Structure 1
């Protein structure tokens, strides 16, 4: 009987060691997140032409709403939901958070580079849209995301500004604005069509503040 018990005990130990080794030999790996570039998000453009090509289409006054999670435009009929994260109309950018919004969103402007921003800084405070004029991302040349050159009439992103966006459902993304012109020309000129955003962003789906 003693020999039988010893054999069973030895078999148990060997099987435990085997499964422990198998578990260690196959560790769970976390795949790094990848950034996404979205081109030509129309921000209520005024330079488009109608189907006949004769009459210009006037601006609608509506924001183009965008979801980082789904990487697509959200219908304005869903503006009172948390389905969208950020909106564009001309040079004005809104976030889905604050007393005039439905979502949990906000914005923090980080000074540095997109690639070096790997987590939400512990000191970050997220601004929200308080009124239609008091916005999380300020408007005006040199105040929020862009500079305006009065000589060339060209709008360009302020270098070294990366936006951390808290999304409508409370998650996080980092974003940089690459261009304000259709086709994202390297050197916009007098004939470049404005009000078309090209963005690079990285969305964190697990709700953590890690942005890499």
Structure 2
């Protein structure tokens, strides 16, 4: 073997060795997704009137908009954008998608536990908000996410109900409502302050339909 050929072979071998070492020394580590718990999201709360002791209608009538991607509230001035994913007003929850929205969002109510929901079920058909009364997440006791006790006037999340959310920009998340009362009391009573959501969610940023 000539000296020139020897140098070429040596260079190729060294390059292959260095490339191999680089790949092994710097493996790609995929971080697992983790759920986030959000507390005391005000859903247009009101206070008792001193004259009658009765709770008046919603103070503003506006939804509190929330971005699951950014984990923060979004201003109502951005309601016509895809910056938000879900909105809260009283017991009503809206999504950013449908005939009356600008985003790509939708929702499906999954029956099961939050942890066992590891991907968007293959058979899911996402509903969207078509009008103020035709919403993706149905309102009313026992129809969507909560039960209302007429005796105690307490709103309680239905166990085993998890929202599969398609976000305003077409990504996916799972959401579970944990409480409807300020500071999420374990056993709400007549003194508990309503219209404050606590929920946990897991957002998939890569656009896939898995929650791992």
Give the TM-score normalised by the residue count of structure 2.
0.91
Q: Give matches, 1:44-193, under 5 Å.
A: 44-47=44-47, 59-193=59-193
SS at match of 2:10: helix
CA shift for structure 1 position 35: 1.2
Moved over 4 A (4+): none
Across the two proteins, how many residue pairs are aligned to each other?
Answer: 208
The unaligned stretches of length 5 or more in structure 1 are 50-55
Compared CA separation, residues 58 and 113, structure 1 to 2 (3 A) = closer
SS at match of 1:10: helix
Q: Is the 8 A contact 1:48 1:57 kept in 2?
A: no
Q: Is the 8 A contact 1:38 1:199 kept in 2?
A: yes
CA shift for structure 1 position 150: 1.8
Compared CA separation, residues 123 and 58, structure 1 to 2 (3 A) = closer
Using the alignment, how far apart are the partners of 2:209 and 2:169 within structure 1? 14
Say what the alpha-carbon RMSD is for the aligned residues.
2.0
CA shift for structure 1 position 26: 2.4
Give the TM-score normalised by the residue count of structure 1.
0.91
* Aligned counterpart, 1:199: 199
Using the alignment, how far apart are the partners of 1:151 and 1:40 within structure 2? 25
Q: Is the 8 A contact 1:175 1:200 kept in 2?
A: yes
Using the alignment, how far apart are the partners of 2:139 and 2:93 within structure 1? 8
Compared CA separation, residues 70 and 48, structure 1 to 2 (3 A) = farther
Q: Is the 8 A contact 1:47 1:57 kept in 2?
A: no
The unaligned stretches of length 5 or more in structure 2 are 50-55
* Aligned counterpart, 1:52: none
CA shift for structure 1 position 48: 6.8
SS at match of 2:5: helix
Using the alignment, how far apart are the partners of 1:163 and 1:66 within structure 2? 15
Q: Do structure 1's residue 31 and structure 2's residue 31 form an aligned pair?
A: yes
CA shift for structure 1 position 209: 1.3
SS at match of 1:190: coil
